[in-house]
Amino acid sequence: MNTFKTIKLSNGATVLTIPMKNTSTTTVILLFGAGSRYETPNIAGSSHLFEHLLFKGTKKRPTPKAIAEVIESKGGILNAYTDRESTGYWCKVPAGLYQKGIEVLIDMAKEPLLRKKDLEMEKNVVYEEIKAYLDSPDSRASNKADENLWPNQPMGMDIAGSIDTVKATSRSDLVKFLNKQYTASNAVLVVSGNLDESKVKITAEKCFEGFREGKPKKFKDVNFNNSGPIVVFDKMETNQAHITIALEGLAIRDENKYASTILSVILGGGMTSRLFEQVREKRGLAYSVSATSHPYSDCGVFYIDAGVAPKNVEKTIQVISDEIKGMRKDLSNQEIKDAKDLIKGRMMMQFEDSRAVAMNYGLQYLLTREIEPFEKIMNNIDQITLNDIEIVFDFIFKNSSAVVSIAGATDEIPNFSKNLTLF
């Protein structure tokens, strides 16, 4: 469905081209192996702050408007994100503009001004972003779950950091980060959609000239050493309580990662899922309930989420627990087939979009230095058996790794942690 080519530039940067004939748009994404896993606790959130700062100006384009207007003046979209293991800068543009997109994104990473006045102003922007998370029960429940799943480790830190750690981050910290992580060998440029591969290579080679080089810092391995289940309460003035159950999951390189995805879909991947049926349709306990599988390069996490009335928290957790235990006994091949069809159907729709394709292939390469093309992913999903899912089920659903995080009006929730056995 989507062929791709990997091009190594002379300075060590990697370019991925993914032609898509039936589209009039092109997506350009510049990825770096940089994120919250690479940080120290005293400057948690510095990767995210750095991402913000790159939009403030470069030597060639000294203002935010000068950067944005190259893309937006033609109807394109320009944005970025920071995650635990990657940071990405992207634009989606009409097909004839992708060379300008390449130029702008590489320029932002190559020669950012990093002015002190911009840093102080952008810190204020990030403070407001952090405050928005703090006002959100689902964000707080998720963050507390991660913090207790990976205690005293970068994986357990909030990607945005805290107001105190962002305030403590200096310009010299960000310059060190730039020189260490934003290097050519740590960069992956992805261009997908309507494109000319020869023009992509020529433009990328030219723009990457003089880009800093060096060996990037590696992150530390994670440890799962919980003796769960652990229950964490985070009090907020809300009308609802959000439940996040976090469990040790599978890494992106694990051959059973697709079994984990199928398991998440069966359990809480849509309106036909078991939890939607039991928690919402049969009992009316929640508007939203879901299960998701998140793989990282050396580990993974499996989440179950629901937003409920505080008085129904204990009941909802019991329903979730009962459904999971029952699922192990009566999981059917038809249910597995239906979940596979759902996953594949949604992937087909996603892969019509140049940005979705660029992100999927780019992250695969950044994190593993390999790419499973669309057809192979589909085939690997088809090959998953009931036995594969049972193996993954037994790995994920164990009490020792479970963290139950509840954020909201916790005063109305009885402390049931001493008697909790989930699985």
Residues 276-318: tens digit of each pLDDT: 999 999 999 999 999 999 999 999 999 999 999 999 999 999 9
Angstrom CA distances, 118 to 55, 80, 113, 126, stand at 10, 18, 9, 12
Owner of token pair 């088809």: 382
Q: Give the per-residue pLDDT at 74.
A: 93
Give pLDDT tens digits for 156-213.
999 999 999 999 999 999 999 999 999 999 999 999 999 999 999 999 999 999 999 9
**Residues with pLDDT less than 70, the chain:** 1-2, 415-420
Taking the C-alpha atoms of residue 193 and residue 214, their distance in angstroms, rounded to an integer, is 31
The amino acid occupying position 256 is: N
Q: Give the per-residue pLDDT at 241.
A: 94
Q: Give the per-residue pLDDT at 22.
A: 87
Q: Give the per-residue pLDDT at 419.
A: 61
Q: Give the per-residue pLDDT at 225.
A: 81
CB 151 within 8 A of CB 166: no
Quote the DSSP letter at residue 195.
-
Taking the C-alpha atoms of residue 128 and residue 116, their distance in angstroms, rounded to an integer, is 19
The packing angle between helices 46-53 and 116-134, to 10°, is 120
Task: Give residue limits of the domains in the chain.
Answer: 5-207, 230-419
The amino acid occupying position 14 is: T
CB 354 within 8 A of CB 26: yes
Query: Beta-strand (E) ranges in 286-419?
Result: 286-295, 300-308, 403-408
Q: Give the per-residue pLDDT at 227.
A: 80
CB 28 within 8 A of CB 91: yes
Q: Give the per-residue pLDDT at 416.
A: 67
Q: Return the CATH fold of 230-419.
A: Cytochrome Bc1 Complex; Chain A, domain 1 (3.30.830)
CATH architecture of 5-207: 2-Layer Sandwich (3.30)
Q: Give the per-residue pLDDT at 422.
A: 77
Reported as type and span, the H/E element at residue 18 is strand 14-19
One fold for both 5-207 and 230-419? yes
**Long-range contact set of residues 321-326: C-beta below 8 Å, sequence gap at least 24:** 321/422, 321/423, 323/267, 323/274, 323/275, 323/278, 324/267, 324/397, 324/422, 324/423, 325/423
Q: Give the per-residue pLDDT at 412.
A: 73
